Protein backbone atom coordinates (compact mmCIF):
# COMPACT_ATOMS: atom_id res chain seq x y z
CA UNK A 1 0.00 0.00 0.00
CA UNK A 2 1.31 3.51 -0.73
CA UNK A 3 2.84 5.49 2.09
CA UNK A 4 0.72 8.14 3.78
CA UNK A 5 -2.62 7.43 2.10
CA UNK A 6 -5.61 6.70 4.29
CA UNK A 7 -7.46 3.57 3.19
CA UNK A 8 -10.90 2.36 4.10
CA UNK A 9 -11.14 -1.37 4.57
CA UNK A 10 -14.54 -2.74 5.39
CA UNK A 11 -16.68 -5.52 4.00
CA UNK A 12 -18.48 -4.45 0.86
CA UNK A 13 -15.77 -2.01 -0.22
CA UNK A 14 -14.42 -2.40 -3.77
CA UNK A 15 -10.74 -1.83 -4.55
CA UNK A 16 -8.53 -1.43 -7.58
CA UNK A 17 -5.21 -3.00 -6.65
CA UNK A 18 -2.01 -2.81 -8.69
CA UNK A 19 1.25 -4.51 -7.85
CA UNK A 20 4.45 -4.93 -9.83
CA UNK A 21 7.19 -7.46 -10.24
CA UNK A 22 10.49 -6.72 -8.52
CA UNK A 23 12.27 -3.86 -10.35
CA UNK A 24 9.47 -4.07 -12.97
CA UNK A 25 11.01 -7.26 -14.37
CA UNK A 26 8.93 -8.91 -17.07
CA UNK A 27 8.29 -12.07 -15.06
CA UNK A 28 5.00 -12.91 -16.76
CA UNK A 29 6.19 -13.43 -20.34
CA UNK A 30 5.53 -17.18 -20.45
CA UNK A 31 1.93 -18.38 -20.67
CA UNK A 32 2.70 -20.90 -17.91
CA UNK A 33 3.65 -18.07 -15.50
CA UNK A 34 0.43 -16.18 -16.24
CA UNK A 35 -1.57 -19.39 -15.74
CA UNK A 36 0.14 -19.92 -12.36
CA UNK A 37 -0.96 -16.41 -11.38
CA UNK A 38 -4.57 -17.05 -12.45
CA UNK A 39 -4.67 -20.36 -10.56
CA UNK A 40 -3.30 -18.67 -7.44
CA UNK A 41 -5.83 -15.83 -7.79
CA UNK A 42 -8.69 -18.32 -7.97
CA UNK A 43 -7.36 -20.18 -4.90
CA UNK A 44 -7.08 -16.92 -2.91
CA UNK A 45 -10.54 -15.83 -4.13
CA UNK A 46 -12.06 -18.98 -2.63
CA UNK A 47 -9.93 -18.99 0.54
CA UNK A 48 -10.60 -15.37 1.48
CA UNK A 49 -14.13 -15.03 0.11
CA UNK A 50 -13.21 -12.38 -2.46
CA UNK A 51 -15.32 -11.14 -5.33
CA UNK A 52 -13.07 -10.58 -8.32
CA UNK A 53 -14.75 -8.15 -10.71
CA UNK A 54 -11.89 -7.83 -13.16
CA UNK A 55 -8.19 -8.46 -13.64
CA UNK A 56 -5.34 -8.35 -16.11
CA UNK A 57 -1.93 -10.01 -15.92
CA UNK A 58 0.68 -7.89 -17.69
CA UNK A 59 4.32 -8.89 -18.26
CA UNK A 60 5.56 -6.85 -15.27
CA UNK A 61 2.48 -5.99 -13.20
CA UNK A 62 -1.08 -6.98 -12.31
CA UNK A 63 -4.33 -5.02 -11.95
CA UNK A 64 -7.24 -6.37 -9.89
CA UNK A 65 -10.73 -4.98 -9.32
CA UNK A 66 -11.93 -6.79 -6.22
CA UNK A 67 -13.97 -6.74 -3.04
CA UNK A 68 -12.77 -6.54 0.50
CA UNK A 69 -12.32 -10.17 1.65
CA UNK A 70 -15.00 -11.87 3.75
CA UNK A 71 -12.25 -13.65 5.69
CA UNK A 72 -9.03 -11.92 6.69
CA UNK A 73 -7.81 -8.56 5.44
CA UNK A 74 -6.98 -7.23 2.00
CA UNK A 75 -3.29 -7.17 2.95
CA UNK A 76 -3.44 -10.83 4.05
CA UNK A 77 -5.18 -11.89 0.84
CA UNK A 78 -2.64 -10.07 -1.33
CA UNK A 79 0.26 -11.48 0.70
CA UNK A 80 -1.11 -14.99 0.22
CA UNK A 81 -1.54 -14.39 -3.52
CA UNK A 82 1.91 -12.91 -4.03
CA UNK A 83 3.65 -15.57 -1.91
CA UNK A 84 1.82 -18.40 -3.67
CA UNK A 85 2.81 -17.13 -7.10
CA UNK A 86 6.42 -16.36 -6.25
CA UNK A 87 7.01 -19.66 -4.44
CA UNK A 88 5.57 -21.56 -7.37
CA UNK A 89 7.61 -19.66 -9.94
CA UNK A 90 10.96 -19.05 -8.24
CA UNK A 91 10.77 -20.40 -4.71
CA UNK A 92 11.63 -17.00 -3.17
CA UNK A 93 8.74 -14.81 -2.03
CA UNK A 94 11.12 -11.96 -1.20
CA UNK A 95 12.37 -11.01 -4.67
CA UNK A 96 9.59 -11.70 -7.14
CA UNK A 97 7.27 -8.78 -6.27
CA UNK A 98 7.75 -5.18 -5.22
CA UNK A 99 7.00 -5.01 -1.49
CA UNK A 100 4.13 -2.55 -1.70
CA UNK A 101 0.98 -2.28 -3.77
CA UNK A 102 -1.32 0.50 -4.95
CA UNK A 103 -4.87 0.37 -3.58
CA UNK A 104 -7.66 2.69 -4.71
CA UNK A 105 -11.17 2.58 -3.20
CA UNK A 106 -14.05 2.66 -5.69
CA UNK A 107 -16.70 5.14 -4.59
CA UNK A 108 -19.20 5.16 -7.47
CA UNK A 109 -20.58 3.08 -10.34
CA UNK A 110 -18.85 5.47 -12.74
CA UNK A 111 -15.46 4.82 -11.13
CA UNK A 112 -16.13 1.07 -11.26
CA UNK A 113 -16.84 1.17 -15.01
CA UNK A 114 -13.88 3.49 -15.65
CA UNK A 115 -11.41 1.29 -13.75
CA UNK A 116 -12.72 -1.95 -15.29
CA UNK A 117 -12.26 -0.41 -18.75
CA UNK A 118 -8.77 0.75 -17.80
CA UNK A 119 -7.87 -2.77 -16.67
CA UNK A 120 -9.20 -4.40 -19.84
CA UNK A 121 -7.56 -1.84 -22.17
CA UNK A 122 -4.16 -2.04 -20.43
CA UNK A 123 -2.65 -4.64 -22.83
CA UNK A 124 -3.70 -2.50 -25.82
CA UNK A 125 -2.14 0.65 -24.30
CA UNK A 126 1.10 -1.27 -23.71
CA UNK A 127 1.20 -2.51 -27.32
CA UNK A 128 0.72 -6.18 -26.42
CA UNK A 129 -2.36 -6.62 -28.61
CA UNK A 130 -4.68 -4.65 -30.87
CA UNK A 131 -7.95 -5.25 -28.99
CA UNK A 132 -8.78 -6.25 -25.38
CA UNK A 133 -10.31 -9.52 -26.59
CA UNK A 134 -6.93 -10.52 -28.05
CA UNK A 135 -5.29 -10.65 -24.58
CA UNK A 136 -6.02 -14.02 -23.00
CA UNK A 137 -4.82 -13.05 -19.53
CA UNK A 138 -7.69 -10.85 -18.36
CA UNK A 139 -11.35 -11.00 -17.44
CA UNK A 140 -12.43 -9.19 -20.63
CA UNK A 141 -13.80 -12.23 -22.49
CA UNK A 142 -15.90 -13.27 -19.51
CA UNK A 143 -17.68 -9.93 -19.73
CA UNK A 144 -17.89 -10.08 -23.54
CA UNK A 145 -19.22 -13.66 -23.77
CA UNK A 146 -20.50 -14.64 -20.34
CA UNK A 147 -18.35 -17.79 -20.50
CA UNK A 148 -16.42 -18.95 -17.47
CA UNK A 149 -12.68 -18.38 -17.29
CA UNK A 150 -9.85 -19.62 -15.11
CA UNK A 151 -10.81 -17.09 -12.40
CA UNK A 152 -14.44 -16.78 -11.30
CA UNK A 153 -15.54 -13.25 -12.09
CA UNK A 154 -18.42 -11.64 -10.23
CA UNK A 155 -20.57 -10.11 -12.95
CA UNK A 156 -24.22 -10.13 -13.97
CA UNK A 157 -23.84 -13.14 -16.30
CA UNK A 158 -22.17 -15.28 -13.66
CA UNK A 159 -24.74 -14.30 -11.02
CA UNK A 160 -27.58 -15.34 -13.37
CA UNK A 161 -25.79 -18.60 -14.17
CA UNK A 162 -25.47 -19.44 -10.46
CA UNK A 163 -29.14 -18.55 -9.87
CA UNK A 164 -30.19 -20.74 -12.82
CA UNK A 165 -28.15 -23.64 -11.48
CA UNK A 166 -29.79 -23.24 -8.07
CA UNK A 167 -33.26 -23.07 -9.68
CA UNK A 168 -33.83 -19.53 -8.40
CA UNK A 169 -33.98 -17.65 -11.70
CA UNK A 170 -37.34 -16.97 -13.29
CA UNK A 171 -37.50 -16.70 -17.10
CA UNK A 172 -38.29 -12.95 -16.90
CA UNK A 173 -35.09 -12.31 -14.93
CA UNK A 174 -33.02 -13.89 -17.70
CA UNK A 175 -33.86 -11.06 -20.10
CA UNK A 176 -31.66 -7.98 -20.14
CA UNK A 177 -33.30 -5.07 -18.33
CA UNK A 178 -33.87 -3.14 -21.56
CA UNK A 179 -35.77 -6.13 -23.03
CA UNK A 180 -37.96 -6.42 -19.92
CA UNK A 181 -39.03 -2.78 -20.29
CA UNK A 182 -40.24 -3.36 -23.87
CA UNK A 183 -42.38 -6.41 -23.01
pLDDT top residue among 87 and 10? 87
Structural domain of 93? 14-152
Of 21-25, 51-55, 113-117, the range with the lowest mean pLDDT is 21-25
User: Which pLDDT value is given to residue 157?
Assistant: 56
The pTM of the full predicted model, rounded to 2 decimals, is: 0.80
Asked whether residue 8 is assigned to any structural domain, the reply reads no
Which distant-in-sequence residues (6+ apart) come within 8 Å of 154 by Cβ? 51, 52, 53, 67
pLDDT top residue among 161 and 25? 25
Element (H, E) at 105: strand 102-106
Residue 129, domain CATH: 3.30.70.1290
- Checking if the pLDDT of 7 tops 70, the result is no
How many structural domains comprise the chain?
A: 2
Amino acid sequence: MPWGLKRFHQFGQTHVVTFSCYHRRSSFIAASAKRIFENALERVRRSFGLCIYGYVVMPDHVHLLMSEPQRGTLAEALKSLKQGVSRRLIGDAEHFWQKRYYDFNIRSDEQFVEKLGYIHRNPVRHGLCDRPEDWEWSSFMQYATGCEGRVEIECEWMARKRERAAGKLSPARELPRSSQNRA
